[in-house]
A and B are shown apart, each in its own frame.
Chain A
Amino acid sequence: MRNAKRLLILSATSLAAYIAAATTVPLGAAVVKVQDPRTVVMIVNRDSNDIAFMDITTKKIVGKAFLGNNVNPHMVMMSPDGRYVVTGGTRANKAYIIDAHTLELVKVIPVDIAPEHLAFSPDSRWYYQGNPEGDSISVIDMVSLTKIKSITGLVEPLNTVFLPDGSKAYVGNYGAHWVGVIDVRRHELLKKIQVGDVPGVAKLDPEKYLGNIHGINIPQITNDGRWLYAADSDLGVVAKIDPREDKVVKVIRVGKSPWRPYMSHDGNYLITPNNGDQTISIVDLRTDKVAATLEAGENMTGVNFAADKAFVISSTTAFVYVYDMKTLRPAGRLKMGTNIQLETATTDTADQKIYLADSTENAVIIIDAKTNAFEKIMNVGLFPWGTHIMDSKDNYCH
């Protein structure tokens, strides 16, 4: 009996030691400010040089990560695994990595000139930081938190999109008329896909074609990852790209100076805001034809989808134009203020609320997509430039 007791005590002690070794209790010096990264809206504040985190439920700022004076962050994004928040400091030429739970800045990595937009590989391993002024993409390994490579040969790379399997990435070159294909295994430029032909009369209009080029902002991927759509601003077209063969299979003519395509959440339509003629083109992706061209506003910077509507942001007029995505007809216009400037927005994962950066008022405007009612959350930081919610289908920048 005594031996059996000793054996039991010994066994229990061994088990306890084994369990303790296997699951060490976190001993954080740093305070966890965000338990669930899906519960916050990230706000990139260009002029207060920080990333603010707003709780979606309470609408309170739960923390800020200060990056340093004159950093001027541009776009913020959370890694798909929810561990890190990253941003490019456009005027510091550095990438900033923030712990998504403690909201502490954990790493600063020098990159190329003027880092702006960025993307994560689906497995969260690679963080591609685009440097439009440096004509490059900096590849950051999110395991070692180091820059492992610089992909060169690009021309003002504005946005990058990864295929769902992570094998290739596609880069919109705003300073050219081609999409760059990146081999993610080697982090190298694999191919250039020209989206459309420059018209023959271009040589008669040097002011337009030689003055300043407005090429491709982003190749937008369909929900199933089967196709990519890239709008070229100067050419006024949207090209449909087959990523299996990396070739253009169709060119769709849209309005004048399309900014970029935005994909509806059901995958049925894409919208291009055409700043050249203040219209939007709605392309039916089942037929790859323009289903409607509707009047819109000036200086459009983004499109969000929620409650079967599209919300198109007209930056300098302070209007958000609303369209019914069932009837493809205009559905009103929301006036957000006077003498203000709107930037970009993100949509919550329930497709109910839109979080719009109102830069000149240092505010974020929350729009109820169903009722079109909105409220302003003031003092989120100086000059909020964009917002981001983990897993949102409308995470973009301008």
Chain B
Amino acid sequence: MVRSRLVAAGAMLLLTGSLAAAQTSTVGGRVVNSQGGVVPNAEATLRPLPAPGATPMPNMPNMPGMAAEKTMAVNADGTFTFAGVAPGQYVLQVDASGFERSSQQVTVANQPLTFAVTLTPLDIPGAEGSAEAAAAVVPDTQVLLDRIKQLEQRISDLEANTVLSEPETRVKRIEVYVDPNNNVHDEPVPGARKQVTYQRERVYRRQWLTEKLEQAFADQDSKKIAVGVSAASVTQFARRTSGNGGEANGHAYQLNSADLLFAAGLAQYTSFFADVVGLSGAPPDAEIHSLTLLNSYTARLVRQNELNVREAWLRTELFSQRLALSAGRLDLTNYFDRNAVANDETAQFISDGLVNNPMLGLATNGAGVAGVFDPKNGFAFKAGLQQSNTDATNLSQSLYTLAEVDYVARPKGLGEGSYRVWVRNDNSSQRARRGGGVSLDQKLTPIFGLFGRYGTADAAGGRDQFYSGGFQFQKGLVFNPDDYWGVGYAETNLERGDRERLAEGYYNFLISEKLRLSFHLQHVFERPGGTPSVGFLLPAIRVQARF
């Protein structure tokens, strides 16, 4: 019984093998080089392709579940044969060192297939042994190959002159290990200490002439002092809307400002900056006696038609560039209360009450130091001091100090916003010695943002107070994509009874990357202590160029 089962099983195996053999075929061929010679040490691979409708991603070679692929050494006479190949789609590959891979799709049916495979030498310029394939070619072509090499060399020489294929050199900072005998090692060795040095490096990088020229110009520019210009012309008209008096009614005003900006790198993370400004013209602030400037550019005006150094400072960055220190003649408002929606008289509002917080109490630039610690995690800490009275004979008696904490928040459901708290002290002022305030700008939607400010300062018998608020649209509800517009309101109340209420709206057009044009409408109500309120409406146009 056992015997008969064994016989049956053997017969089944034979039958299966015979059936399989009957459904298979052979794939073979001969491998030669381009001269028809035998290619030594070649190998052939037959890889099945996925069947139509199968998963499009073939399994990776050598991975579990991979499709079986067959590889065999090509015989000494260049022939090879895969036997027992089932019908289907395959990739037939032939490889030999120094030659390009030959790869082709083959369809196996029941008939044997034979292929003539010609391998092409793989030339890798600069690689060792790249002539190996050439050496495999029959000797009677050696003269021809030598000639080809000569021609290739001539082409290479020609390229070196026309497309800059010659090796490029550059100096690099490297770390090496120097032992007591001053022998240099690339890797640590006992007794050697790590040192930093500089060394020339040679690389093979082909560059086009345009690239090389651009690089040369960029290198030259980086060593120069960068010069910029920021010029503005603000034209305003005044019409009294309420109250009596005020010589400004019906008058037109224009103030022109030009800043020359200089910047230069001095050392690692250390730079110099200077802003020289000249102003010419008449702002409305000379005739409308407002608590805050109706043209924020007026703050820059020292003397008409004269150049003044507005800022000149050195800046260095420490502690992985987390701490930036600036020292020199500063405008501290450039560092503090940097409200994203209302802080730039060159691009947003022109009313100073909507550009700054008057409770900061800083009217002029002066010698000082500002430090900003910003680890870029949403918190920033700022502190600064500055000479507050330019007539003071020493810093001790005219010291203005300011500190601020900034925080980037994302209230639930809203966009990002910046929130700031600041305090300040001015030892040159008896009236408004201490002050403090908050400032925020918050996006409500991607195109709509709010701003708000509040400030208070010591006064003789109480406190001066200020607040402002408004909004800005950008990237939406505009004529052109880079335009923006905003509306703001500010109110200043001094302890002595003076009061100012101010509203402004503006629309800023982008004419070009260097030129902007904006239209403004201001309405201000001034009520000096104990007197009736006077109102003025001021349409304005600002042209701002920056390049």
Interface residues of A (CB under 8 A from B): 1, 4, 7-8, 10-12, 14-15, 17-18, 21-30, 32, 35-37, 46-49, 66-70, 72, 80-83, 91-92, 97, 99, 101, 105-108, 122-124, 143-145, 166, 199-201, 204-205, 207-208, 235-237, 253, 256, 289-295, 319, 321, 327-333, 335, 338-339, 360, 382-383
> Can you list 6 A-B pairs with a CB-CB distance of less than 8 A?
A12-B13, A29-B95, A107-B100, A123-B50, A290-B446, A329-B416
A23 to B86, CA, bound (A): 12
Q: How far is the CB of A370 from chain B (nearest CB, A)?
A: 16
> Residue A291 contacts which of B9, B24, B415, B482 (CB distance < 8 angstroms)?
B415
**How would residues 247 to 263 of chain B score, 1 for a CB under 8 Å from any chain A CB and 0 otherwise?**
00000000000000000
A70 in contact with B416 (CB, 8 Å): no
What chain B residues lie within 8 Å of A22 (beta carbons)? 68, 84
Q: How far is the CB of B137 from chain A (nearest CB, A)?
A: 18
What chain B residues lie within 8 Å of A293 (beta carbons)? 415-416, 443, 446
**How would residues 370 to 381 of chain B score, 1 for a CB under 8 Å from any chain A CB and 0 otherwise?**
000001111000
Q: Does B333 contact A (CB under 8 A)?
A: no
Residue of B with least CB distance to A38: B60
> Residue A14 contacts which of B14, B58, B60, B73 (CB distance < 8 angstroms)?
B14
Q: How far is the CB of B239 from chain A (nearest CB, A)?
A: 31
Q: How far is the CB of A33 from chain B (nearest CB, A)?
A: 12
A99 to B45, CA, bound (A): 13
What chain B residues lie within 8 Å of A330 (beta carbons)? 376-378, 408
A378 to B61, CA, bound (A): 31
A4 in contact with B60 (CB, 8 Å): no
Q: How far is the CB of B38 from chain A (nearest CB, A)?
A: 15
A72 to B205, CA, bound (A): 6
A385 to B123, CA, bound (A): 24
Q: Does B521 contact A (CB under 8 A)?
A: no
A256 to B7, CA, bound (A): 82
Q: Quick one: given A28-B71, A37-B60, are A21 and B14 in contact (CB under 8 Å)?
A: no
Residue of B with least CB distance to A34: B62
Given contacts A329-B410, A333-B377, 8 further A-B contacts (CB under 8 A): A14-B17, A17-B17, A72-B205, A81-B58, A82-B63, A106-B95, A295-B376, A328-B410
A111 to B102, CA, bound (A): 18
What chain A residues lie within 8 Å of B14 (beta carbons)? 7, 10-11, 14
Q: Does B480 contact A (CB under 8 A)?
A: yes
Q: Quick one: given A14-B14, A207-B512, are A24 and B408 in contact (CB under 8 Å)?
A: no
Q: Does B97 contact A (CB under 8 A)?
A: yes
Q: How far is the CB of B343 from chain A (nearest CB, A)?
A: 15
Q: Does B529 contact A (CB under 8 A)?
A: no
A91 to B205, CA, bound (A): 8
Q: Quick one: given A4-B6, A66-B127, A236-B481, are A29 and B97 in contact (CB under 8 Å)?
A: yes
Interface residues of B in 318-346 (CB under 8 A from A): 320-321
Residue of B with least CB distance to A145: B103
A83 to B57, CA, bound (A): 12
A207 to B515, CA, bound (A): 12
Q: Quick one: given A28-B71, A29-B43, are A7 and B408 in contact (CB under 8 Å)?
A: no
What chain B residues lie within 8 Å of A124 (beta carbons)? 57-58
What chain A residues lie within 8 Å of B264 (beta carbons)? none
Q: Which size bracket describes the interface of B in this complex? A: 35 or more
What chain A residues lie within 8 Å of B377 (beta carbons)? 330-333
A47 to B475, CA, bound (A): 42
What chain A residues lie within 8 Å of B512 (beta carbons)? 201, 204-205, 207-208
Interface residues of B (CB under 8 A from A): 3, 6-7, 9-11, 13-14, 17, 20-21, 24, 41, 43, 49-50, 56-63, 68, 70-73, 82-84, 91, 95-97, 100-105, 122-127, 159, 163, 165, 168, 172-173, 201, 203-207, 268, 320-321, 375-378, 408-410, 415-416, 443, 445-447, 475-476, 480-482, 509-514
What chain B residues lie within 8 Å of A290 (beta carbons)? 415, 446
B122 in contact with A105 (CB, 8 Å): yes
Q: How far is the CB of A297 from chain B (nearest CB, A)?
A: 9
What chain A residues lie within 8 Å of B268 (beta carbons)? 338-339
A200 in contact with B205 (CB, 8 Å): no
B71 in contact with A47 (CB, 8 Å): no
Q: Quick one: given A205-B513, A338-B268, A382-B203, are A1 and B416 in contact (CB under 8 Å)?
A: no
The 9 A-B residue pairs with the shortest CB-CB distance, nearest first, are A21-B84, A69-B126, A82-B60, A91-B206, A106-B101, A205-B512, A47-B203, A24-B70, A333-B376
A25 to B253, CA, bound (A): 93
Residue of B with least CB distance to A21: B84
A28 to B97, CA, bound (A): 11
B100 in contact with A292 (CB, 8 Å): no
A10 to B95, CA, bound (A): 36
A46 in contact with B205 (CB, 8 Å): yes
Q: Quick one: given A15-B13, A333-B376, are A69 and B125 in contact (CB under 8 Å)?
A: yes
B58 in contact with A329 (CB, 8 Å): no
What chain B residues lie within 8 Å of A97 (beta carbons)? 101
Residue of B with least CB distance to A197: B481
Q: How far is the CB of A221 from chain B (nearest CB, A)?
A: 17
What chain A residues lie within 8 Å of B6 (beta carbons)? 4, 7-8
Chain B CB within 10 Å — which of A32, A69, A144, A208 has the most? A69
> Residue B82 contacts which of A24, A99, A338 (CB distance < 8 angstroms)?
A24
Q: How far is the CB of B185 from chain A (nearest CB, A)?
A: 13
What chain A residues lie within 8 Å of B3 (beta carbons)? 1, 4
